[in-house]
Structure 1
Amino acid sequence: MRGNTGSARAIPVMFDRPELDAILRVYGRLVMSGDCKDYAIDGLSDRAVFSIFRRASEFPLYRIEKVPANARKQGAWKIIAPGGAILKRGHDLANLLKFFDKRRFQVID
């Protein structure tokens, strides 16, 4: 029988099914519009990250992060630009994802 050596790993933070469904709907719209072609999901000890890429070999265009430790402060959710700037932050994922509404990406002639 093995004892606890103190090196037990923390359970990583992940997206639950409704959260991931909402994020993937937005990602699907971005793929259909040609704005992106790849994504990555990371479950870390303190956050879950959904990265959206234009191409797989580049830096992510956007990162959608869930940080439960910030839930009571500025909100558990944020969208981060490639340079690290926080584009939007909030408590509600649905409101946060409105950042990607179609009207934001229309080309004006």
Structure 2
Amino acid sequence: MSSITPIAPMPRYAVQVGFTRPEILRLMDLYGRMVAAGHWRDYALSFETTKASFSAFRRTAERPEYRVEKQPALRLKQGMWILYGEGGQILKRSHELVNILAPIERRLIKLIAD
């Protein structure tokens, strides 16, 4: 006779980090304004178990110019929002999305003013 080997139960659902509706609306608003200014042409969203990210590209084939990540595990430490530059360097960390987007919005004002 053969023996039956029990298999470990699968988790009911995998926890996935995502953006809330106000967060995604804020990101898409900034993206739309940058597209209207002729600076960005494409974006990407990535949702993983530990982080969610929004990347903005000048052209599709390049590295993202900016990447905004939400890592809830860091919310009690350095802040769950991180802004990365094109080279992958951390430009800013904060507990609020508004503070992360401020340097990009300042750049947008300079683009329109020129």
Letter of the 1:93 partner, please give it. L
- Write the deviation string for residues 48-86 of structure 1: whole angstroms up to 9, x where unpaired: 000101111111111000000000111000110121111
Question: For the residues of structure 2 that align with 1:98 and 1:56, how far apart are their CA atoms?
Answer: 24
Question: For the residues of structure 1 that align with 2:7 and 2:21, how far apart are their CA atoms?
Answer: 32
Q: Which residue of 2 aligns with 1:34?
A: 38
1:95 equivalent to 2:99? Answer: yes
Runs of 4+ in 1 over 6 A off after TM superposition: none
Q: How many residue pairs align between the two structures?
A: 106
Question: For the residues of structure 1 that align with 2:26 and 2:7, how far apart are their CA atoms?
Answer: 39
SS class of match (1:60)? coil
> For the structure 1 residues 28 and 6, does the alpha-carbon distance in structure 2 shift closer, same or farther, using more than 3 Å as the test?
same
1:53 equivalent to 2:57? Answer: yes
Unaligned segments of structure 1, at least 5 residues: none
RMSD: 2.1
Question: For the residues of structure 1 that align with 2:85 and 2:98, how far apart are their CA atoms?
Answer: 19
Unaligned segments of structure 2, at least 5 residues: 1-5
Q: Which residue of 1 aligns with 2:8?
A: 5
> For the structure 1 residues 4 and 32, does the alpha-carbon distance in structure 2 shift closer, same or farther, using more than 3 Å as the test?
farther
Q: Which residue of 2 aligns with 1:104?
A: 107
Q: TM-score w.r.t. structure 2 length?
A: 0.82
Q: TM-score w.r.t. structure 1 length?
A: 0.86
Identify which of 62, 69, 77 aligns with 2:81.
Answer: 77
> For the structure 1 residues 61 and 10, does the alpha-carbon distance in structure 2 shift closer, same or farther, using more than 3 Å as the test?
same
- Write the deviation string for residues 74-109 of structure 1: whole angstroms up to 9, x where unpaired: 1000110121111111001112211112x4352687
Query: Which has the larger Rg?
Result: 2
